[in-house]
Structure 1
Amino acid sequence: MNKKIGFIGCGNMARAMISGIVHSKFIEPSTIYASNSSSGKLNQIRDDFCICTTDDNLKIAKECDVVVLSVKPHLYGKVIDQIKDFIKEEAIVVMIAAGQKIEDNEKRFNRKIKLVRAMPNTPALVNEGMTAISVNTLVTDEDKRFIQSMFECFGKIEFVEERLMDAVTGVSGSSPAYTYMFIEALADGAVLHGMPRKQAYTFAAQAVLGAAKMILETGTHPGALKDAVSSPGGTTIEAVASLEKSGFRSAVIEAVIACVEKSKNMN
């Protein structure tokens, strides 16, 4: 791998991506660049990962083969206007901001440009991210393989049609928050029955982690796995019945619907 990867913006997601790329040894740290308006963040990320840093976005545009736009959505127009005439002809531009459509940003560049729209989530910080990726027609199969390998440095990826990106936001982009709420509620129930809170969080979090791993590694339908735990007349089916009575599934579905609708309105 001899491509240079540059990040414009050094927020939490950029840091997670850089950490995964460096620790996986996907490319050398000396071929990773980052720019940011805050010198404090730049100094920290340079010291932590031994990458190249600059306060000049144009340096990233001119030198890097993959440019990751990791700034807030409202800054996309300003940043693209600044760098659009300096991006390499064959460079790949990766967008990781919510609501930023490929077509809209093709117009901002006003030239032929390889665009990748990615929706990672925060578990990328612990190398367990889930990223959805859409590309425009100029992105080649070789480009896609490189981008896939880059994002696999910190989790799993799936290529999806861009029309599904709002659904992705609901099912993986925002869902860590729902899961944290579920884990907190599980732990509260255990604390109510005398378990120390720290221990309750460990039991609840590991149970959720293990259950998720069962689905991913066995490929078994989650309903079948639920049935396997729910013995006739047992404790689990009693709990399942209580959840159903409280509208657990419909509440989760409604949460996803609300999230997707909000995402659509941000476009």
Structure 2
Amino acid sequence: MSSTLGLSLRPYAPTDQAAVLDLINADRMTGQPAATPAMLANALQGRSGVDAGWWAELDRPITSVATSATGTVLGVISYALRPKDDHGVILWLHCREDESTARALLDHAATEIGPRPLDAFHFATALTLGLEALPVRHRPATHAALIAAGYTGTDLWRYMHRTLPAPDLPRLTHYDTEPATPDTRHLVVTEDGKSLADATIGTPAQAIGVLWWIGVEPAARSRGLGRALLGTALDSLTNMGATDVILFVDDDAPSGDDRDRTAAKTLYETSGFQEIDRLHSFSK
């Protein structure tokens, strides 16, 4: 057990479950499910349905809690080593947005990991629905603690949300649907045997669906196909029980780049989606 700034740092214990879930759910964002004991168990073991390949590269995570003099759990951090590049990885951290607690947790993890490069909030955990990286407006104290600890942040993703149903959007009359993975469904529009557009949606969790991807081939653009496919995807999620839908936009690519998402951003903004936050990852 170590002590810093009046806090005591010790390994997570099963008796901490309720307190840690309270900390996690205090940071819950619009469009995110409430963390459950099963979700926490997966996170502690290093399992996640999203970014599973990256989790598989890690040693088993270590989770520590920060407690007050009376034993109250004030914060929690989970971290691991990645043998392939000898990096330490900060996986998740919650502390009711108290900057001093966040800094104490980060310093503790860095000490335990040892002198090596550190990455923080680089991929999604089992505690969220695909929430990759840190929502910096929603988590300002954690963001400030990372910067104060010497991390450099990179703005990677735009996190957006809208409620369902979406009767304002058009629907396709002809499309194919197929399971992509156990947790996703693929919608495809074809013409003369060629794919014109496709979308991937996630099975709703706690009535929250995810639009993982939507794309239209260049030759099929400017026909309203993207908007109709979006309406069809959201209709499918509604029929699956979703009352909310979220999406993540990788919009850091330069205009004209193959990853340019300018058209997608315009589509989402004019289809009822609102930006909830920007998602940053960090390294030092």
TM tier, smaller: 0.3 to 0.5
- The TM-score with structure 2 as length reference comes to 0.33
Higher relative contact order (CA 8 A, sep 6+): 2
Structure with more of its chain in strand, by fraction: 2
Structure with more of its chain in helix, by fraction: 1
- The TM-score with structure 1 as length reference comes to 0.34
